[in-house]
Structure 1
């Protein structure tokens, strides 16, 4: 071969080799990964830990923190793991250029924006974890292209939209976690193809539809969790055939059907069974005892019936057994055998049997339960008798809830052995005796609820050892003596309620120790003397109730220092003097100082500017204030001549007094004559008003000649007009003109005058004046002037057909609760707290009016009756045998000639209560052939109570609430059960079976507390 040929061959070999060298490709790949990482860093807007500070070209990118390279291509990026790095910003779509990426993990950061769709190009990706970020937008459907994915974890973000159907193509998936987002729509049925799936979590979203039966093909599945969604339908039978299942959690949905009787056989490996807050029914299967690994059974808030399985004792690993809020029964000794067997569950930590239908005595066998038990609840059952002393054996208890049952007898001394106790609730029973002195051992106690019992004696001073107490309620008992200064714990930060007892003496100076307490309630006791000036030490106090006591003296000037106080009730005491000047600078939202002896000028700032938030009645020497208060004008005397003026005033008043006595004597004899000749001119029952009496001409002018434009409504005995009258200042009022052409019209006027003259309450319509005169035709004219109620009657808020003056707007659940309580409170006052018991006799929605703050006021006392003692000679009694009231609300006994009674009012209230919450009128056309509103409700109570509830009460501004409200379902359900049960108890046909209105008020307030948490 010639030299030239050899050189040519060498050159050709060099060119060929140059073209086949991999070095340039390798360089380009490195450059691509580097640029992708730099792009990722460029969109990171926050890096407080400087995790990415070393991401620069001075170091190879494979050595950057969080970046991993390796495998067959040692210079290619295979993982990006930056968990818990406090990074913020957006995720760059350039990460899709990391074509060898196997793992992407950016959990527990602050990344926002959306998940880039371009990530679907990472066909080698096996794990993606973007959990615990505020990422929004949709789950990219392109992730279905990453068919090698084994793990998808996107929990705790703000992801929306539906779950992509394409994820069902990732057949190698082992872990799929989409917990705590806002995902909607159905669970894709093709997820049954993910046959390698071990962990399946879609809990805390807004998913709807049913659970696909195809999921039963996931034979290796160990965990399924779809809690807290809106899933409905029955649980597919195929799911129960997954024998490998360990965690089965379908709670907080609307699932129906029952648990199969063989669940313990088909799912023997179960560890957790959580199906609470659904609509499941039937019995708890006895086969569940075959699940020997079970640690938790939680079936609360369903419709399970029958007895609790007696063979639970074989579940020796059982820690939690929570079956509250069902219809489970225990009526015989055999039904209670499950409690005897639970002694074998030596690991038991929580036992919740509350809100069921368990009856009889509390079993002695509770003393054999595990000493690991820390939570024990049997509240809201029909259990009677005393609390067994063996409860003292459960030394691990931290919470005991035995409230709202039929318990009696004393509190056992042995409870003092439970030194770990943090909460004890024995309220709403008939427990008697004294608080055991051994309570002093309970040094960890933070919540003590003993209200609504029959406890007596002194409040033990030894309770001073309970230095962890945050909230204490001893109200509605029979405690006597002083309030011990020792119970003024520094730890009390929530509330202390000692109301409705027989406590006496002074308010302890040590009240200043309650520096962080929010609520103090001492109402309706016999406490006396002045309020200590140290009360301003309660620096964060928000509500103070001292009403219904015998406090006197003036308010301490330090009151103005309580800048957090929002509610103050000092009514029905003997306070005197002027209100502190600083009170109008407080943050008060409600102030009641009624029925005291306050004097001087009423402030005009702060709460004193809101006439609906303040009650000053019964203080005749108060003056001034804003014009709407209609108080007398203040007379200001020069300070230098004050004593002279006082002497002059004394002489003047003495002279006037003597002259008045003479006039009264003359008038007395004159009136005797006049009454015989002018009986029709003026009623002996005219109301004594502070305001001037109005004339026919005043009313004619104020109503613009009784114009139809001012017509508010018509009733059986009169017509109501809206008017503006100048009583002291121009005021919008309601004028009720009696129809005297009807025989009962004049009698109605007299009855209403007498009733309204003797009653004053915030939930009764306030009468302002009256008119008994003749019109321009010489005809008798009688009218009553009331406060105007701008929101009209309750009837217009319940029934669209009754609402003509405005667009119909339904009441919310909380508004209906408030109205129901307001009306019940008004009836309680009429029946039990007036000078003489009054029966309203015509309680119905049109007679319940709503003020500007939607506070309910009961009105129209034209049919009212006064109840008098049997030996009274007073002629005005409740002996009338005529039918009184309105069809649909009249109690059955009135139709058979019975006299008016408070039980009759209770029936009308029961009908009203059912109408408020069902939205159905008792005169609805559907009620024929003996059917009635109470019968309709009773047919659905309690299992289907939610089906008869007016669904408009769940709307907000006409729209169904959005977001995840499932956790509130149980509270709403419990509230409505209590309300409907109260309505049914009040509307019993036999008067003797009806509730007392005082108990109704308690029940409704308790239901409202449950609703509000």
Structure 2
């Protein structure tokens, strides 16, 4: 006899444990055998599922399964008749043991993440003896009976793969079958034609192919038929409505059907929804005169029509559809004018799509009758005449697209009445005159496109009050004047294009307030002057085109740190050096041709070399009283640095370089100088109250002091950042071993050599701090009070020598009184860090050296030495 190992199949092993660990409780012993069969089927079903929502926690043997979440039982026999697990974020697969629920009537598994294939033996039943036999022999059951009572099966919006099982044809009581929004493929099985009670068939949004079996079109009870968004081929039967007489919803759009639209649809008097769009249907559109209940008609995306006259007469047959809400005829080849009866369509119409046809003529003034219209698109046609002012009556309109036609004359001022409008596209017409100021009434507008017209005059200032605007395109017109400063109100602007107009003057600095800009094109005008310095705030710019204007001055250096995909500065009057970093490294990503005064740049530009110029940048540096030796050591060298230098040294002040944060700023590791010396850069957050005073105090305290146990300051930077904001930073010698706080409470896995300080190292650290405090109090020309002595302000170098740092709260003692009133130096009630600051400071007493000594004592008592004395070995070492 062949030997089986239960551990060879983990799934069966887990299933085995699941069944026998919960299956023989006292609750189950009292069950009728049939009820027990339902219980075991549910346990097996759960065993194949992962449930992060814990919705199925109630599925255990402590309760009768009829009380479990999602379970419905019959009252008389206590058998499972319903299973509802919709929207529970379940994963795993559908166990075939659900087929053992022989009384099941409805099964809802929608909107989860089930994977795998449909269980081919789902439509089955297994009795308890077969089930136990299968477990004993370590195999799944081999035979099933019919799930004859199942009426509704829904498993849409999952990740089910494979084919639709032909065994579904055995579910003889089935009335509704939902399997949409999965990854099903293959053909629709002929066996589904056996489901003579079927009322709903929905397998839309899958990857089904082949043709629809003719037997399915004989299921006379079907009212909802949805196979849209698949790859199904073939033709639609000419007697479609004859064989499906109660059809209400018919959707086969986005497939590969050919042939003509069945004429029999003309008799589908119950039809409410008809979607035939995006197939390969051709020929004439039949009459819809009897479709009085029709609410949605989609014929878009087919090669219907030949661009000839009178091809839209079928619209006249829709006037009896008093509930028509959506009419989609776009992306076809319809020609001719809108029929006169167009104005008689139901005023319930909310969406009308006529885009991309060959429709001619005018938009009738009766368009104003459609008071419920929300979305009106007739772009890419051959409409002529004026835009009817009656369009301003469509108070619910949110999207209006009249672009790519031949509309002429001016934009009607009544358009300003469309207070809910979100998208307004009037581009590529023959519109003229000025932009009406009433457009400033729009407060929800996201996109305004008036490009490629003959509009003239200045831009109405009211338009710049539309703060919601994201896309604003006025290119290729005859507009003139200057850009008003109000453009800075467009804080959400992402796309701005005024190219090829007649604008002049300087670009307003306020354009730098549009910090969401990604695309900015103002080429082909007469703008002059320098690029505004506020452009440094436009860090999100990807495409910038300033070409064919009269700009002068230098190309901003800060453009090097922008993530440009394209930069066009050609045909202006720029001078000076072309930058060489960022986008300027790639000659195909930027252009500076037509600027005769430029020099330098990458060799590909073939520009003349620049003459050496003296840098006039203002730099702030510390100078010692003694002339430092000419060494590149960080102990002696005092650099002159700019914001740009520090930005590059710290990788753009990136999070990866961040060493820590404090009350007034953040500290970053950087690499600076020709030899790549490591430094620590403290960047002040000037928006924090007291940060500027802290910077000044630290500069004053550190510029004239030097001691082995004080953190050495190398230089400072006081200037502006890329956004034009004040920038102040201090550059210190880098301390390789971080701060004392990290060593006393280390969570940093990078401290691999020494995980903690031993007693001798702690003693040396305490001595180093004592030397530093003594120097500040007793040996400086003017005594200094540190005011914030604590472990995080004590830094350790690569030899674990301690250095006291952070003099942002430091104060000098006056020469006469040797004291400093806290009321005169700060508005704070407490100077220093709670837990380390002297208690008298909390009572607004005078500052003194005693405050530092108190902090030093707390540092020793709480952190450095005393905690070591509570173990015997530390006592022995101390006595030794």
* 2:429 aligned partner: 453
Q: Tell whether 2:165 aligns with 1:188.
A: yes
Mapped partners of 1:53, 1:547: distance in 2: 67
Q: Tell me the alpha carbon deviations over residues 583-618 of structure 1, each in whole angstroms, 9 at most, x when there is no partner.
A: 222222221111111111222332222222111111
3-state SS of 1:370 partner: coil
Q: Tell whether 2:192 aligns with 1:253.
A: no
- Cα drift, residue 342 of structure 1: 1.4
- Cα drift, residue 28 of structure 1: 4.1
Range with greater deviation from structure 2 (276-285 or 136-145): 136-145
Range with greater deviation from structure 2 (213-222 or 350-359): 213-222
Structure 1 residues 279 and 514, CA gap change in structure 2 (3 angstroms):
same
Structure 1 residue ranges without an equivalent (≥5): 1-22, 79-99, 149-163, 642-1013
C-alpha contact 1:119 1:142 (8 A) present in aligned 2: no
Counterpart pick for 1:135 among 114, 126, 133? 114
Mapped partners of 1:123, 1:357: distance in 2: 54
Counterpart pick for 1:535 among 503, 506, 511? 511
1:427-466 equivalences under 5 Å are: 427-466=403-442
Q: Tell whether 2:402 aligns with 1:426.
A: yes
3-state SS of 1:600 partner: strand
Q: Tell whether 2:89 aligns with 1:110.
A: yes
3-state SS of 1:351 partner: strand
Mapped partners of 2:392, 2:143: distance in 1: 61
* 1:243 aligned partner: 220
C-alpha contact 1:147 1:171 (8 A) present in aligned 2: no
* 1:393 aligned partner: 369
- Cα drift, residue 511 of structure 1: 1.2
* 1:375 aligned partner: 351
C-alpha contact 2:482 2:504 (8 A) present in aligned 1: yes
3-state SS of 1:305 partner: coil
Mapped partners of 2:223, 2:469: distance in 1: 42
3-state SS of 2:431 partner: strand
C-alpha contact 1:560 1:585 (8 A) present in aligned 2: no
Q: Tell whether 2:277 aligns with 1:275.
A: no
Range with greater deviation from structure 2 (172-181 or 312-321): 172-181
Structure 1 residues 214 and 110, CA gap change in structure 2 (3 angstroms):
closer
- Cα drift, residue 180 of structure 1: 3.4
C-alpha contact 1:168 1:191 (8 A) present in aligned 2: no
- Cα drift, residue 470 of structure 1: 0.7
- Cα drift, residue 370 of structure 1: 0.6
Mapped partners of 1:359, 1:67: distance in 2: 57
* 1:637 aligned partner: 613
Q: Tell me the alpha carbon deviations over residues 736-760 of structure 1, each in whole angstroms, 9 at most, x when there is no partner.
A: xxxxxxxxxxxxxxxxxxxxxxxxx
3-state SS of 2:113 partner: coil
- Cα drift, residue 383 of structure 1: 1.5
* 1:323 aligned partner: 299
Q: Tell whether 2:449 aligns with 1:473.
A: yes
3-state SS of 1:143 partner: coil
- Cα drift, residue 577 of structure 1: 0.3
Counterpart pick for 1:210 among 174, 187, 191? 187
3-state SS of 1:472 partner: strand
Q: Tell me the alpha carbon deviations over residues 805-854 of structure 1, each in whole angstroms, 9 at most, x when there is no partner.
A: xxxxxxxxxxxxxxxxxxxxxxxxxxxxxxxxxxxxxxxxxxxxxxxxxx
* 2:337 aligned partner: 361
C-alpha contact 2:107 2:153 (8 A) present in aligned 1: no
Q: Tell me the alpha carbon deviations over residues 596-644 of structure 1, each in whole angstroms, 9 at most, x when there is no partner.
A: 1111122233222222211111112222333444332221333799xxx
* 1:656 aligned partner: none
Structure 1 residues 144 and 182, CA gap change in structure 2 (3 angstroms):
same
Instruction: Give TM-score, length-normalised by structure 1.
Output: 0.52
Q: Tell me the alpha carbon deviations over residues 951-998 of structure 1, each in whole angstroms, 9 at most, x when there is no partner.
A: xxxxxxxxxxxxxxxxxxxxxxxxxxxxxxxxxxxxxxxxxxxxxxxx
Mapped partners of 2:549, 2:418: distance in 1: 36
* 1:789 aligned partner: none
Structure 2 residue ranges without an equivalent (≥5): 1-23, 128-140, 618-880
* 1:411 aligned partner: 387
3-state SS of 1:329 partner: coil
Structure 1 residues 197 and 457, CA gap change in structure 2 (3 angstroms):
same
C-alpha contact 1:168 1:193 (8 A) present in aligned 2: no
C-alpha contact 1:554 1:578 (8 A) present in aligned 2: yes
* 1:707 aligned partner: none
* 1:145 aligned partner: 124
Structure 1 residues 256 and 584, CA gap change in structure 2 (3 angstroms):
same
Mapped partners of 2:51, 2:205: distance in 1: 34
3-state SS of 1:314 partner: coil
- Cα drift, residue 64 of structure 1: 7.4
Structure 1 residues 41 and 228, CA gap change in structure 2 (3 angstroms):
closer
- Cα drift, residue 35 of structure 1: 15
- Cα drift, residue 333 of structure 1: 7.8
3-state SS of 2:511 partner: helix
RMSD, matched Cα:
3.7
Structure 1 residues 273 and 30, CA gap change in structure 2 (3 angstroms):
closer
- Cα drift, residue 26 of structure 1: 6.2
C-alpha contact 1:141 1:167 (8 A) present in aligned 2: no
Q: Tell me the alpha carbon deviations over residues 530-566 of structure 1, each in whole angstroms, 9 at most, x when there is no partner.
A: 1111112112111111111111100011111112111
- Cα drift, residue 404 of structure 1: 1.0
Mapped partners of 1:293, 1:592: distance in 2: 60
Higher radius of gyration, 1 or 2: 2
C-alpha contact 2:45 2:98 (8 A) present in aligned 1: no
Mapped partners of 1:70, 1:332: distance in 2: 63
Q: Tell whether 2:162 aligns with 1:219.
A: no
C-alpha contact 2:59 2:65 (8 A) present in aligned 1: no
Mapped partners of 1:291, 1:35: distance in 2: 44
Structure 1 residues 147 and 428, CA gap change in structure 2 (3 angstroms):
farther
Q: Tell me the alpha carbon deviations over residues 699-734 of structure 1, each in whole angstroms, 9 at most, x when there is no partner.
A: xxxxxxxxxxxxxxxxxxxxxxxxxxxxxxxxxxxx
1:682-831 equivalences under 5 Å are: none
* 1:564 aligned partner: 540
C-alpha contact 2:103 2:150 (8 A) present in aligned 1: no
C-alpha contact 1:300 1:325 (8 A) present in aligned 2: yes
Q: Tell me the alpha carbon deviations over residues 451-508 of structure 1, each in whole angstroms, 9 at most, x when there is no partner.
A: 1111000011111112221101111100011112211244444311110011111112
Q: Tell me the alpha carbon deviations over residues 250-309 of structure 1, each in whole angstroms, 9 at most, x when there is no partner.
A: 222333333333222222211111121223233323322322111111111123223322
Instruction: Give TM-score, length-normalised by structure 2.
Output: 0.60
Q: Tell whether 2:262 aligns with 1:285.
A: yes
Mapped partners of 2:189, 2:48: distance in 1: 43
Q: Tell whether 2:497 aligns with 1:518.
A: no
Structure 1 residues 495 and 525, CA gap change in structure 2 (3 angstroms):
same
Q: Tell me the alpha carbon deviations over residues 160-190 of structure 1, each in whole angstroms, 9 at most, x when there is no partner.
A: xxxx999994343322333234444443344
* 1:228 aligned partner: 205
Q: Tell whether 2:570 aligns with 1:594.
A: yes
Mapped partners of 2:604, 2:309: distance in 1: 66
Mapped partners of 2:49, 2:168: distance in 1: 35
C-alpha contact 2:229 2:255 (8 A) present in aligned 1: yes
Mapped partners of 1:365, 1:632: distance in 2: 71
- Cα drift, residue 580 of structure 1: 2.3
C-alpha contact 2:73 2:82 (8 A) present in aligned 1: no
Counterpart pick for 1:507 among 468, 483, 494? 483
Mapped partners of 2:160, 2:261: distance in 1: 32
* 1:348 aligned partner: 324
- Cα drift, residue 40 of structure 1: 7.1
- Cα drift, residue 102 of structure 1: 5.2
Counterpart pick for 2:154 among 153, 165, 177? 177
Range with greater deviation from structure 2 (429-438 or 129-138): 129-138
C-alpha contact 2:498 2:522 (8 A) present in aligned 1: yes
Q: If each structure's helix is expressed as a fraction of its own residues, which one has the higher value?
A: 1
Mapped partners of 2:272, 2:404: distance in 1: 33
3-state SS of 1:357 partner: coil
Mapped partners of 2:281, 2:142: distance in 1: 35
